[in-house]
């Protein structure tokens, strides 16, 4: 389903200025292989001319126009790939990379989170991501960050932003940490159709581009994957209220029934679509809903969870979700469903600026996409999520000049987009981003992280365990590394 048309009037440009208000010199990129984001075959040695914040010409016309303008800056991309800036359709830039919901909900302040979000936005842009959909946030930081970037005093990707995710009192992925009333962290609880309409209207009043619903959540009494925590009438009420005000809706759906009912209600964009079955897929195809499977978070947990302390019993669950959902996303894609790339950047397992491009590799690995199709999912297809179809996501004349130059060939190896140092140029709306300028290292703020008095219960048996190793430790004898490891397991 296509989202309602853009409500906000685009910012006017003065001649020679990008939207961010910085003077931009014409740029001619020469010698590279152009992958234009539309799915067209790569074109070797094609020049790209950027002028006044847009793609002015390609090929011979670009060379001719540049030759007539001595002010043109030239970038030699010989042996490299020239392609549109990436679009990440699932980020959480205001979250600050928490290790869990307790930290996210109860160890954050609005002012500090706002400044940290602006700091992190730079990292996203440096990673070659020139646009993001940030569908839910702490407080109303997403909208404010979007406007700060558009105003030109914060460097970051172009944004479309949501407000607080809507939840029923059952909560979402945070379960009972969500209060029964009001707002907790990124979530606002609604109870009935009247309350739904009021909250949707309030968020739209304060500038959101999208409304988000947490359709599934965790209930302690129910084992296994997340369960649906909204009924069909409530889902429909959100979508109707938002669509009446020209605003699209995205839903977090991590089981098949939630995906089916969200699609039937007219959900514009569905995150995850976990364990989708054929009946749910039929509903998605019939409704025209778009899918954003968000494999990267699961992939990072499966591949690196042991390194970061993920509970071992969860790893097989995440792996099964990836395998099962990947097959169905492939099936959806072949059935003509629009599929977008989204990394769920913003958590400790998906830190900002690190893993955005992995989603393209995951689509190739798990959902049967070709590298070209994966690139489209993060460029021309994802322009839809930005409400900027025909303006971003492709290297075509008249499009906004969002460009990256990659030292490598992503069509031969899609993982090159995530390789350290592979993205050698980032241009947003005709302005080159200085990739050499250091970003200050962020250190943990006092009180930001959850502190523990003990990592496990100190039982008498554990405390007084009389082993040879423990005795050696008490007597001050030096222990080998192997003995220390054994003692830690005691």
Residue the block writes with tokens 């839903």: 251
Of 227, 215, 195, residue with least CA distance to 267: 215
Domain span at residue 304 reads 86-387
- Is 247 part of any domain? yes
* CB burial of residue 82 (10 Å; 0-12, 13-18, 19+): buried
**Residue 409 CA: distances (Å) to CA of 35, 45, 60, 91, 457:** 10, 14, 23, 26, 52
Of 351, 394, 430, 301, residue with least CA distance to 87: 394
Stronger pLDDT, 127 or 449, i.e. the higher one: 127
**142 and 274 co-located in one domain:** yes
Q: Tell me how far apart the alpha carbons of residues 409 and 446 are, in angstroms, rounded to a whole number.
A: 43
Stronger pLDDT, 223 or 255, i.e. the higher one: 255
Give the model confidence (pLDDT) of 151-209 as tens digits.
Answer: 999 999 999 999 999 999 887 777 788 888 898 889 999 999 999 999 999 999 999 99
pLDDT of residue 177: 83
**280 and 375 co-located in one domain:** yes
Mean pLDDT of 237-249: 98
Give the model confidence (pLDDT) of 435-456 as tens digits.
Answer: 999 998 888 888 777 766 666 6
**Residue 391 CA: distances (Å) to CA of 46, 79, 127:** 21, 27, 21
pLDDT of residue 470: 56
Q: Which of 387, 405, 440 is the last residue of a domain?
A: 387
Copy the structure tokens of residue 111: 């002012």
Copy the structure tokens of residue 285: 């195809």
Maximum C-alpha span of the chain = 86
Q: Is the pLDDT of residue 229 over 60?
A: yes
**Residue 126 CA: distances (Å) to CA of 123, 407, 413:** 5, 15, 21
Q: Tell me how far apart the alpha carbons of residues 438 and 436 are, in angstroms, rounded to a whole number.
A: 6
- Is 414 part of any domain? no
Computed over every residue of the chain, the mean pLDDT equals: 90
Q: What is the DSSP letter of 416?
A: G
Of 354, 303, 359, 351, residue with least CA distance to 326: 359
**Residue 356 CA: distances (Å) to CA of 351, 360, 419:** 9, 8, 11
**360 and 467 co-located in one domain:** no
Answer yes or no: are the C-beta atoms of 429 and 443 closer than 8 Å. Answer: no
pLDDT of residue 133: 98
* Dihedral sign computed on CA atoms, order 155, 157, 163, 167: negative
Element (DSSP H or E) covering residue 57: strand 54-58
Mean pLDDT of 343-348: 94
- Is 360 part of any domain? yes
Q: Which of 387, 409, 443 is the last residue of a domain?
A: 387
**280 and 141 co-located in one domain:** yes
Q: Is the pLDDT of residue 458 over 80?
A: no
Answer yes or no: are the C-beta atoms of 178 and 187 closer than 8 Å. Answer: yes
Give the model confidence (pLDDT) of 366-407 as tens digits.
Answer: 999 999 999 999 999 999 999 999 999 999 999 999 999 999
pLDDT of residue 471: 62
Range name among 110-124, 211-225, 266-280 with the lowest pLDDT average: 211-225
Residue the block writes with tokens 């029934």: 257
- Split into its structural domains, the chain has a count of 2
- Is 439 part of any domain? no
pLDDT of residue 21: 46
pLDDT of residue 221: 76
- Is 392 part of any domain? no
Q: Report residue 334: phi and psi, to 5°.
A: -70, -20
Q: Tell me how far apart the alpha carbons of residues 203 and 440 are, in angstroms, rounded to a whole number.
A: 33
Other CB atoms within a 10 A radius of the CB of residue 84 amount to 32
What percentage of the chain reaches a pLDDT higher than 70? 87
């Amino acid at each position: 389903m296509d989202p309602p048309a853009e409500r906000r009037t685009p910012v006017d440009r003065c001649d020679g200025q990008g939207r961010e208000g910085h003077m931009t010199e014409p740029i001619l990129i020469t010698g590279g292989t152009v992958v234009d984001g539309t799915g067209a075959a790569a074109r070797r040695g094609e020049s790209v001319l950027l002028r006044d914040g847009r793609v002015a010409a390609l090929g011979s016309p670009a060379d001719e126009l540049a030759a007539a303008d001595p002010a043109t800056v030239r970038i030699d991309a010989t042996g490299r790939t020239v392609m549109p800036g990436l679009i990440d359709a699932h980020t959480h830039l205001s979250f600050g990379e928490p290790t869990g919901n307790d930290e996210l909900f109860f160890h954050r302040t609005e002012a500090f989170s706002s400044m940290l979000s602006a700091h992190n936005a730079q990292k996203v842009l440096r990673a070659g991501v020139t646009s993001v959909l940030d569908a839910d946030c702490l407080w109303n930081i997403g909208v404010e960050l979007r406007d700060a970037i558009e105003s030109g005093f914060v460097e970051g990707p172009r944004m479309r932003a949501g407000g607080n995710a809507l939840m029923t009192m059952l909560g979402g992925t945070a379960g009972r940490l969500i209060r029964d009333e009001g707002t907790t962290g990124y979530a606002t609880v609604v109870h009935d159709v009247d309350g739904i309409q009021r909250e949707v209207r309030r968020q739209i009043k304060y500038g959101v581009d999208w409304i988000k619903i947490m359709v599934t959540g965790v209930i302690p009494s129910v084992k296994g994957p997340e369960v649906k925590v909204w009924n069909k009438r409530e889902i429909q009420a959100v979508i109707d209220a938002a669509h009446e005000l020209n605003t699209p809706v995205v839903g977090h759906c991590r089981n098949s029934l939630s995906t089916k009912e969200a699609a039937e209600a007219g959900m514009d964009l569905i995150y995850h679509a976990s364990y989708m079955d054929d009946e749910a897929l039929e509903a998605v195809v019939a409704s025209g809903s778009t899918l954003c499977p968000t494999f990267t978070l699961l992939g990072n947990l499966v591949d690196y969870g042991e390194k970061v302390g993920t509970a071992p019993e969860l790893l097989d669950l995440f792996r099964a979700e990836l395998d099962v959902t990947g097959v169905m996303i492939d099936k959806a894609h072949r059935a003509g469903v629009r599929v977008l790339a989204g990394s769920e950047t913003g958590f400790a397992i998906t830190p900002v600026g690190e893993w955005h491009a992995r989603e393209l590799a995951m689509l190739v690995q798990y959902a049967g996409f070709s590298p070209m199709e994966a690139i489209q999912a993060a460029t021309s297809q994802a322009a839809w999520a930005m409400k900027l179809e025909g303006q971003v996501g492709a290297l075509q004349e008249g499009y906004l000049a969002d460009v990256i130059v990659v030292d490598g060939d992503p069509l031969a190896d899609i993982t090159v987009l995530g390789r350290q140092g592979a993205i050698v140029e980032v241009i947003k709306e005709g302005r080159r981003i200085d990739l050499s300028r250091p970003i200050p290292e962020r250190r943990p703020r006092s009180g930001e992280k959850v502190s523990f008095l003990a990592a496990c219960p100190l039982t008498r048996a554990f405390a007084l365990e009389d082993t040879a190793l423990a005795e050696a430790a008490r007597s001050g004898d030096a222990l080998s590394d192997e003995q220390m490891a054994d003692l830690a397991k005691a």
